[in-house]
Structure 1
Amino acid sequence: MKPGADTSRKSVKTYVPAYQKDEWQAHAKELEMSQSEFVRTMVQAGRKGFDPDREEPDSPDATPGGNALETRVLELLSDDTYSWDELLDAVSDDIESRLDETLEELQATDRIRYSGRHGGYVVVDDAETASGDDGD
Structure 2
Amino acid sequence: MAADDGERTSVRTYVPRYQKERWQSHAADLDMSQSEFVRTMVQAGRKGFDPEPEELASAEETDPPSPDANPGGNGLEDRVVETLSDGAHYDWEELLAALTDDIEQRLDETLQELQSDGRVRYSGRHGGYVLDE
TM-score by length of 2: 0.39
TM-score by length of 1: 0.38
